[in-house]
Structures are given as structure tokens and as C-alpha cells.
């Protein structure tokens, strides 16, 4: 969530620049990308961003770093929603934090 809060202003600034240039293809891509994110389809969003990044590289576009950030955003959101960062890394640690967080999120309290 923190990553999303930091990237959204950057994304919006770049979207405004792209929209002012009259680029309908980029606008359509961004709509599809964020639609996939909103539907928790992170792999599809990542694939779309990677595909668009390869196309932008071939065209020599200045949009490539932004597309790289979108790919990272999709993976960060996937990790955040799956709570993989809460799994214990030690051999003898219990999964109490992971289980309690999952229960709270499923109950809608977090």
C-alpha cells in the first residue's frame, strides 16, 4: 500500500503528460492496466506492462522507465495482497502473525 501511495502521484503526472500529447493507445493501456489491478489480476497487469515496455523500447519511447515502474507496482501489489512478506523466514518460528493477519483481513477488520 505504501508503494502504491508513492507511485500514484508519479503515475498521475505522467498520465497527464501523455494525455496532453493526445496518445490514445497509452491511455487505453493505462485503463486496462489499472482495471486488471483493480480486479486483483496482477499477473495480467504485469504481462501487459512488459508487453507495452517491449513495444516502447522498439519505438525508442521515453515511456520505458514508467512502464518498468508499473511492472514493479503490479508485483508489489501481488505480494502485498498475498501477505507473503509475513511468512516466517526462520526454521522454528510460528506462523502466528501470518494467521492472525489473514483472519483479520478476511473478517474485514484490517
Tens of pLDDT along the chain (110 residues) come to 455 555 555 555 555 554 444 478 889 999 999 999 999 999 999 999 999 999 999 998 889 999 999 999 999 999 888 886 676 665 555 566 667 777 777 776 54
Residue 12's H or E segment, with its range, is helix 2-20
Q: How many CB atoms lie within 10 A of CB 18?
A: 18
Q: Which residue blocks in 21-95 are alpha helix, DSSP H?
A: 24-38, 42-59, 64-82
Per-residue pLDDT at 18:
45
Q: How many CB atoms lie within 10 A of CB 110?
A: 10
Q: Is the pTM of this model over 0.85?
A: no
In the DSSP assignment, the letter for residue 97 is H
Spatial distance between the Cα atoms of 74 and 37, rounded to a whole number of angstroms = 7
**Domain ranges within the chain, ordered by starting residue:** 2-107
Q: What is the largest CA-CA distance in the chain?
A: 57
Per-residue pLDDT at 20:
47
Residue position matching grid coordinates 489499472: 34
Grid cell at residue 97: 502473525
Amino acid at each position: 500500500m505504501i508503494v502504491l501511495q508513492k507511485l500514484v502521484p508519479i503515475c498521475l503526472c505522467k498520465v497527464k503528460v501523455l494525455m496532453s500529447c493526445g496518445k490514445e493507445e497509452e491511455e487505453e493501456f493505462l485503463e486496462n492496466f489499472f482495471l486488471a489491478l483493480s480486479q486483483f489480476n496482477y499477473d495480467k497487469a504485469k504481462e501487459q506492462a512488459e508487453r507495452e515496455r517491449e513495444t516502447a523500447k522498439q519505438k525508442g519511447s521515453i515511456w520505458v522507465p514508467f512502464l518498468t515502474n508499473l511492472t514493479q507496482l503490479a508485483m508489489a501489489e501481488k505480494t502485498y495482497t498475498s501477505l507473503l512478506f509475513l511468512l516466517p523466514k526462520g526454521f522454528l518460528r510460528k506462523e502466528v502473525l501470518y494467521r492472525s493477519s489473514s483472519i483479520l483481513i478476511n473478517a474485514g477488520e484490517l
